Structures are given as C-alpha cells and as structure tokens.
Structure 1
Amino acid sequence: MFKNVIVYRIAPQEGDALLKLEAGLDKARFAPCGASQERSAGWVEPRGEAHAPLVESIGGQWIMKFMVEAKVVPGTVVRRKLEERIAQIEKETGRKPGRKESKELKEDVLLQLLPMAFTRQGATPVWVDPEAGWLVVGSSAQARADEVVTALVDALPGVTVVPLYTQQSAQSAMSDWLISQDPPEGFSIDRECELKASDDSKAVVRYARHPLDIEEIKGHIEQGKLPTRLALTWQDRVSFVLTEGMLIKKITFLEGVFEGGTQKEDGFDADAAISTGELGQLVPDLLEALGGEMPPGGMPAPAAAQGAAPVAAVTSADLASSEKTSAPTDDDAPF
C-alpha cells in the first residue's frame, strides 16, 4: 500500500471530522479527462469499489486515494503539426508567424490532438491517524505531496498541515551512524547508500548491495561527502531508505509481517491495518533516532537540512487567496 512516504503533522481530529472529510472529498471526486482536457485530479474510492466511501476507517485509521489522469501527447507530434501549420501560413501569406502567434498555434494544435491522445493514471495513497496527528502521503515527490495536501486541506476546512522537523537533520544523523557503525536502537544499517559532495564538484558515490562498514565510506565523509540516502531496517520488520530530506522510500515489509493477511477475504482491511500499524510505530522511533520532533513553533537551523522538506504550513484559509497547486511531475506516477 505504501512504498514511499512523506510524513506531516496534522491537528488531531475529533467528533464528526470523518463525516465532514467524506463530504469534502465528495466535492472533489475524480472524473476522467474530457475530450479537450489535458489533466484531471481528484479523490477515488481507496477500496477500488464503485460507490464505496472515499474515506475508509480501518482500526481508527483513515485511508484515502488521490488519482491523477493525464493525456499523453508526444512532443514530437506537436512540433511536427506546428511546423506544418507554420509552413502553410508562410506559403499562403508570405510571412512567418511571430512568437506570440506561434505560441497560440501550438496551443491550438495541442487542443486538437488531445481527443486522440492516450491517458495515463497514477494513484497516491493517503493515510491520516486522527488521534496521533499524522498525515502520510504515499509519494516520494514533493510536488505530488503538495498537491495532495492542498486537496485535503480544501476538503476539510479549518485543518492545518505542517511538515515534520527534527532536532537533528537526517543527513547529520546518517553521517554519525555510518562513521560510528552504531545505529540507534531498533535500527540496523543495510547495504545501500549515496554520498554527495557539497562543493562545486557535486561528486556522487553510490553503494548498492555492498557492506557499508568499511573505512572507504568514513574517508568519503571526512573529505566532505555527506549521505543523501541510507538503507535501514527497523526491528527486522520493515526495510526502507531514508533520504536527507527525511523522505522514507523503498518501504518493504519483511517476511512474516503480512503472513496470511492478504489471503483473507478482507485483504484490503488487513493490508491497511498492518501497514499503518507498522509505520505508526516506525515513524515515532525514527523521530526519536533523529533527536525528537522539533517543538511547535521551533525553527530548524538550517531549515533546508532538517527533517521534511521545508514547505510552509497549509490551512484552508490560504486556499481562498491563492491558486491551486500546479500539476506536478511525480516520480511515483507513470507520467
């Protein structure tokens, strides 16, 4: 269910918040692209069954799914059609269209090609722990996570979502763990990491399926290369890759964690309960390993090196005075 995640803080939800969220998501329900529509986004039933709830509450955990559909028109086709249009205008009028007219012609070409274009879809799972105050977006792309957060805030008026910041940056902690070979309790270092130089050389060293308890890695760190990702395992139950921005990627639930769960008739419920149960324990342990969560109102120093990506808090009031997030480029989606 979750392969990559970005974790946020959300105010604990009480009372009829679940009903309000369901009603809010229903107003932004996903609809496929129209004939001349290039992109569409909205909420779909996470269980995959038509007319099912848009928010599934499983063991007190709220599960949602955000869908994006985009028309795929190859740039080479657009350019060829545009060149044909321009050549025709030059032949008929003896003049070459200017920059503004060429831009308008390109938009017109794209509009004519859209009804014939194939569509691709990408779904992003979303999880809210209403009691603990976690919002987890199943993506490794900040642009997609921003779009999901904005859509969620729009659906649940009054809610505030903020990124996580920790007392110690993930990059600093990963450096300490690699040098000392002494990861925090409950965690072990696996066989994958990436080190990147902070100087103008931007040199990168990657290790894959390689022991990391070697002097060579310590030497790279002493020379100024810092870890940007490190493979870890938590409690022999979940393996993952931690990034410098505190993204949790390549999540793999190890043997035994899902034993028998997906074979049950209610496989969705079992998968969701086990996934949220494991991640609901991993995230607090990871925060503790990074020195604990930054207190509300605390400012990380430097911001770009601490915890989650430094994006501003989002509230429903912000949406009234700003445009919606533009279409992202998401490495999780097929477009």
Structure 2
Amino acid sequence: MPLFKNIVVYRIGPEWTPPAFDRLDAELQRLAFVPCQPTQEHSAGWVPPRGKEHGALVEIVGGQWILKLMVERKAVPGGAVRAELEERCRKIEQERGRKPGRKEKNEIKEEIVHSFLPRAFSKRGSHSLWIDLENRALVVSAGSLKAAEPVLKPLVDLMAELGHVMPLAPLNTATSPATAMGEWLTTREAPAGFTIDRDLELKKPGEEKSVVRYARHSLELDEIGQHIQEGKLPTQLAMTWNDKVSFVLTEHLGIRKIDIRDVDDAPKGEDGFDADVAIATGELSALLPDLLASLGGELAHGEAPTLAPAPAPAPAEVAVAA
C-alpha cells in the first residue's frame, strides 16, 4: 500500500523546535496503540511506521520524520439499537403506564450500545504523518481537513506535553483552487509542469447543490466552460505533474489519489520502507512548490485568497462517463 494516497499539508509555525528524537520515541511508546477492549468503541495510538513489531515509533529517512497512527472503531448497527430501544420503551410504557422521557431514553440507548459492543465488528485504519523539518511542513495521510483533524490532535497534544508547542495552519494560496481550476479548464491551458487528466467534478453552491461529474472523459469540451459560466465551481480535478505524479486536486487544496509513477521499478532494501519514504517525500517535496506557484503562491496564515463568486442555487445532477 502506498505511503501516501491522499494528503493534507499544514505549515508549521516558525517558533516550533522538534524534541529530541529519543525522547519523542519514548513518549510515543507510552502512547502505543492498544486494541479496543470488549466494551470500548474507539482506540487510537502509535504503531511502528516500518511495520515491524516492537520497532521504533518514529523513523527518520533522509531527514524526514515519519510516524503512523492506528485507529480502531467498533460499529454497532443503528437499526439493531433502534429496535432494542423501541422494545424497551414499549415495555416501560406497559409496566409503568408512562413513556420514557428524552433523558431516560438516552440513558437506555447508552446501555444498549454498551451491551452490544462486545459483539460488534471492529474496523482499523492507519494514517501516516510526515514532518518535513527543512520546509516546516506537516503532511497527513487524509482526504480532507476534517479527516486530518483527529489524526493531528494526538501529535499536537503530545508536542504540547513535551513543551514543544506545534502551531499549525493549513496551506493558503493567493488564488483559491476552485478559481484556478476554473481558469485552467476555461482556457484549456494547464499551469507549467502540469497536465489536465480525464476526471472532473463541478458543483454549484446553494441550497440545492447541482453536481456535474466527468469520469475518464475528455475535458476539452465547450460545455465545461458553459458550466463554469453558469456558476458551477470545480471541486475536484485530475492532474499529472511532470509525467511523474498523478493526483486529484480538491477545492480545499487536498491532494487525493496520488500515484507516483515508476515507483515499482526503484531499487529497494530489505523491507522497502526507506525507498518508499525517499521516493514519496522526494517527489511530493518537489511537486508542492510547483502546485503552490500555480495557485498564485502561498499566503501567510490569515490572508484571504482570491475566491470565485458564489452563484445562485440550481437543481439536478448529471453524470458523464466515457
């Protein structure tokens, strides 16, 4: 599995200094992942990025720091909970001649969930984190800012405990991605070093968000310019950088579906980890400055980018595929 399939990038404040490597690893060991207990819904903790049992919980490859957070969740079927809750409330009404109030129903629901948890299926997922000290960047393997937040929190909290408070801000550019993507599509001219591929999503803001999607389809169409003129904003666009890295750029500067080409042909060591890290961090470190430049350059945190105008609402959804 690729080290980074989807990423969100944060800029680290200039006042941050990293803790000593040994101290950080020791604290991460204290917070190592432990599977959910029978009645526990959620568990998160650190695991060895290299994948070897009892290995280090922070790895340094070519000056890049790599960590991995494991998250486990147990899912109790909502339908089963609702059915059991209705049955218990019905019995209370029959036996006591009254319907349970909201507070009592919530307490009963919590009891039901707690009783179902030992039989619930668990699902695990891991998230890689990359600290680029030279460029003062923190990269999280997540598909959106919302998904990245719970991954960031354990690291930020730990840094604060260690006395190395880590101020973070999402990347901010002079031109919003939606505005820039609209310009590229309208002029049919990609920024220098990039090509536009064959997947696109456009949305029209408003109460009834209309959506147009193109999948594996030529985007050199007059109708795409018409959609943009009507107020639809590009929210996802497939691109390739320097014939090396293909990805999907989102309206919030997320980078998804990353595919680094020729990565399988690169020489690798015993477990391949060092090579994977070197390739991924090397290519993405080179891609990011070009991407930021194509969006008018990076702004300091708090500065406002150029935004596309907000259009009126419109109905309907259209899907287009080859």
Give the Cα separation in 1 of the matches to 2:200 and 2:156. 35
CA deviation profile, 1:14-33 (whole Å, cap 9, x unmatched): 57543343233233222111
Give the Cα separation in 1 of the matches to 2:67 and 2:84. 41
What residue in structure 1 maps to residue 317 of structure 2? none
What residue in structure 2 maps to residue 34 of structure 1? 37
User: Which of 248, 251, 259 is the equivalent residue of 2:265?
Assistant: 259
CA contact (8 A) 1:169 1:244 kept: yes
Identity of aligned residues (%): 51
User: Which of 252, 261, 272 is the equivalent residue of 1:245?
Assistant: 252
Alignment partner of 1:101 is 2:111: no
Letter in 2 for 1:258: D
CA deviation profile, 1:33-91 (whole Å, cap 9, x unmatched): 11221111121111122211111111111111111111121112112222232233233
Alignment partner of 1:184 is 2:191: yes
Letter in 1 for 2:52: E
Letter in 2 for 1:237: K
Deviation at 1:119, TM superposition (A): 1.1
Deviation at 1:222, TM superposition (A): 1.6
What residue in structure 1 maps to residue 139 of structure 2? 136
**Could you state the TM-score of these two structures normalised by the residue count of structure 2?**
0.87
Change in 2 beyond 3 A, CA 1:284/1:120: same
SS in 2 for 1:64: strand
User: Which of 86, 89, 102 is the equivalent residue of 1:83?
Assistant: 86
What residue in structure 1 maps to residue 303 of structure 2? 299
CA contact (8 A) 2:179 2:308 kept: no
What residue in structure 1 maps to residue 11 of structure 2? 9
What residue in structure 2 maps to residue 168 of structure 1? 175
What residue in structure 1 maps to residue 315 of structure 2? none
SS in 2 for 1:156: helix
What residue in structure 1 maps to residue 221 of structure 2? 214
What residue in structure 2 maps to residue 68 of structure 1? 71
Change in 2 beyond 3 A, CA 1:144/1:30: farther
| CA RMSD in angstroms, aligned pairs only | 2.1
What residue in structure 1 maps to residue 287 of structure 2? 282
User: Which of 267, 275, 286 is the equivalent residue of 1:270?
Assistant: 275
What residue in structure 2 maps to residue 195 of structure 1? 202
CA contact (8 A) 1:230 1:242 kept: yes
Aligned length: 302
User: Which of 206, 220, 223 is the equivalent residue of 2:230?
Assistant: 223
Give the Cα separation in 2 of the matches to 1:29 and 1:149. 15
SS in 2 for 1:258: helix
CA contact (8 A) 2:199 2:216 kept: yes
What residue in structure 2 maps to residue 150 of structure 1? 153
Greater alpha carbon shift after TM alignment, 207-216 vs 231-240? 207-216
Runs of 4+ in structure 1 deviating by more than 3 angstroms, as ranges, are 11-17, 198-201, 301-305
Give the Cα separation in 2 of the matches to 1:240 and 1:258. 17
CA contact (8 A) 1:33 1:39 kept: yes
Give the Cα separation in 1 of the matches to 2:202 and 2:239. 15
CA deviation profile, 1:187-225 (whole Å, cap 9, x unmatched): 000011111123555221111111111211111112222
What residue in structure 2 maps to residue 323 of structure 1? none
Give the Cα separation in 2 of the matches to 1:104 and 1:175. 50
Deviation at 1:140, TM superposition (A): 0.6
Give the Cα separation in 2 of the matches to 1:168 and 1:248. 16
Give the Cα separation in 1 of the matches to 2:6 and 2:308. 20
Unpaired stretches in structure 1, ≥5 consecutive residues:
306-335
Letter in 1 for 2:263: V
